[in-house]
Structure 1
Amino acid sequence: VLFGSRVRPKALAALGGVALLIGLLGALVGTLLGDTTGSLTSKKVTLAQSGSPERVDGAISKVVDAIMPSVVSIQASAGEQADTGSGAVIDGKGYIITNNHVISLVANDTSGQGKILITFSDGHRAPARIVGRDTKTDLAVLKVDNVKNLTVAQLGRSDDVRVGQDVLAVGSPLGLSKTVTSGIVSALHRAVPLKGEGSDTDAVIDAVQTDASINPGNSGGPMVDFRGRIIGINSAIRTESGGSVGLGFAIPVDTMAQIAQGLIRDGRVHHPELGISAKQTTTVTNDVRTGAEVQNVAANSPAARAGIVERDIILKVGDRPVTSASELTVAVQALAIGQSVSIQLIRDGRIVDVPVTLGSD
């Protein structure tokens, strides 16, 4: 379920009050990660470092002090409709990362009334424009002009993220800006489809899963580790009731950085492509196997050229197991355009390895 929150403009004023709701539910701070971080800018937040893995008094508040100046609230409106969400400053020139579904209302507006308003943590407001967006990863880059002394978020690395480590989710859930909740990373590499709710997003993300409480309006805001480094962009929740009692999912920071750099440079990005559609299926050879059954193969696609045919059941892409169509999507997206990879599949009851060179969408 995507959770960009859509409300009428009159309701935005009622939700505009600043509320700092710091969740202190985290247990112990996980082992501190390595010092090397990625960034899209030369300007970085300077963080106090500690050699002790144990939580010191006030650890959460120190992380909040470090990350909060780089977190923004986003209001996207067109006519009588409006969406709210969150974002983070990723470059001192005014570039801001968020979810595509937060701003797609404005991107698809044909009336000329669409506008995006950014509210910074100090209360300052500025209009923003869309630099580029990617419906296949649900990411978008915005830009504000003539805003000085921006605090830029520090980026972590996806390879450093561990299941069980403490994290914070920061953003504007339900229109309440500067909200912080805590939890842990409860799983990695969770294939999560993102689609619908008034957005043109049609993505599957290789998500970081968390139990930190997140709600509508958190979309596009950062998930951070206990050094204040972004490790994901909060994008979806899964819950039985539609509230915050459930699981949250974030786009990994490495994916975010790669897509953001492409959008800033070119205004658009391309993705590796296999050229098939598939569905989940279970088959029995010598044992029970679950994979992605090929339903259609596009003509002259990489899959067609490699000899993959309908009813083949894909079990692996390289070393990554595939048990569903969503997992097939993220396995391919994790590779590079033009990269050669071995696809393991079942055909007529036999396991076959097929070399494929990926194309571009």
Structure 2
Amino acid sequence: MLTGALVVGGGAGVATAALYDSSQGGSGSAGGSSSLPVVDNGNRPAATGSVESVASTVLPSVVALGVSGGGSAGSGSGVILDTDGLILTNDHVVTLGGQIPADQAEVTVSFNDGKKVRATVVGTDPLTDTALVKVDGVSDLKPITIGKSSNLDVGEQVVAIGSPFGLDATVTSGIVSALDRPVEVARDAQGNATAYPAIQTDAAINPGNSGGPLVNMDGQLVGINASIRSTSSGQGAESGSIGLGFAIPIDEVLPIIDQLKAGETPTHARLGIQVADVAGTAGSSDTTLSGARIASIEKGSAAEDAGLKQDDVITSIDDHRIDGSESLIATIRSYRPGDEVKVTYLRGSKESSTELKLGSDG
């Protein structure tokens, strides 16, 4: 279970960008020749599989997004999906962190070549923090190549690209620090969680990187940068990278993209239960429990049909260990309605398992 503050990184501050700009001018010497010896090795071509090579490949597919509405404004990043102008980003980027409805957002897209155009919001899915916007009349777009996040390994090198604090086309690199890290960043008024089994990376991700790509060393899209761990607890404070960034795995996003493109309301897998964290002992033993306790079960749900009961403690879904309610929600979010899963649970001190077909919130 994660502790500390998780922040979504959609809104880069104007004041920060202004401070950066003002610090660049007004000093320095004019260009000229030097009497000191200089070694000129030439501008060598990027080595295959290097960060330089990946950046050269991916940068034309990454855009900066400016969003305004309701008297508020913010910025984020996006990635080009096709030559028709479809762009993937985060829901919290186009809604300014839930401050405005997506259909009231005024979105401006800035391309790598400097071109700026208005975009329309195609659709959003708050539960997976996914959004699509579209530009029209723009030629020579370069879609990103989509890879498989399931092929990632811990320790594998990755590259993040985006517009942190409004600094367009910023490239950072690092490794995959962890996989299937349960991350919950928000809940709506009905208690539905925005959660996902995240790719954790130490590549620098900052406010404004949200919606931008996390790519492997083949330049393939494997995740959408979405949130960071912050040490700040101050109200309204914007903290920068401390090496704990989180991306939504692209494998989980693709079905949502297809539904949004088709004009459909996205659907999500459901067990049909309300859950809570659990800590205690198993019977009279000294074994400390961790898992998600079933607080209530919906009539006719997948969980009820499979024989699960109130106060059962779910400890794993397939081979995914469940440490708490956040972990269970994020894990179920990685499946699709109709998928069959094995649920391992404790009833008292007895461990059992059952197989069930996940329901749908549609």
Alignment TM class, shorter chain as reference: 0.7 to 0.9
Q: Which has the higher Rg, Structure 1 or Structure 2?
A: 2
Structure 2 residue 120 is the aligned partner of structure 1 residue 129: yes
Deviation per residue, 1:210-258 (Å, 9 max, x gap): 0111110000000112221111110000132432123000011212222
Once the two structures are TM-superposed, the CA of residue 111 in structure 1 deviates from its matched residue by 12
Matches within 5 A, 1:1-361: 1-5=7-11, 7=13, 14=18, 56=47, 59-105=50-96, 109=100, 114-195=105-186, 202-241=193-232, 242-285=239-282, 287-361=287-361
Question: What is the aligned length?
Answer: 320
Distance 1:60 1:258, change over 3 A: same
Q: C-alpha separation between the residues in 2 aligned to 1:201 and 1:84? A: 25
TM-score by length of 1: 0.81
RMSD value, Cα: 2.7
Q: Which deviates more, 339-348 or 207-216?
A: 339-348
Between the aligned partners of 1:192 and 1:110, the Cα distance in structure 2 is 23
Question: How far apart in 1 are the matches of 2:138 and 2:19?
Answer: 24
Q: CA deviation at 1:179?
A: 0.7
TM-score, normalised with respect to structure 2? 0.81
Paired amino acid for 2:172: T
Name stretches of at least 5 consecutive residues in structure 1 with no aligned partner.
18-54
CA distance in 2, matches of 1:352, 1:106: 41
Q: 1:283 to 1:226 in 2, by over 3 A?
A: same
Give me the whole-angstrom Cα distance separating, in 2, the residues matched to 1:91 and 1:171.
18
**Which segment is superposed worse, 124-133 or 315-324?**
315-324
Corresponding residue number in structure 2 for 1:33: none
1:85-107 alpha-carbon deviations (Å, 9 max, x no partner): 00000111110000000001498
Pairwise CA distance, 1:138: 0.4
**Unaligned stretches of 5+ in structure 2?**
1-6, 22-45, 233-238
Shift of 1:196: 6.7
Deviation at 1:358, TM superposition (A): 1.4
CA distance in 2, matches of 1:136, 1:217: 20
Paired residue secondary structure (2:244): strand
The AA in structure 1 aligned to 2:146 is L
- Supply the AA of the counterpart residue of 2:275: A
Name the CA distance, whole Å, in 2 between partners of 1:89 and 1:244. Answer: 25
Task: Please tell me whether the aligned partners of residues 78 and 106 of structure 1 are also in contact (alpha carbons under 8 angstroms).
Answer: no
Tell me the residue number matched to 1:30: none
Counterpart of 2:205 in 1: which secondary structure?
coil
Counting aligned pairs with the same residue, the percent is 38
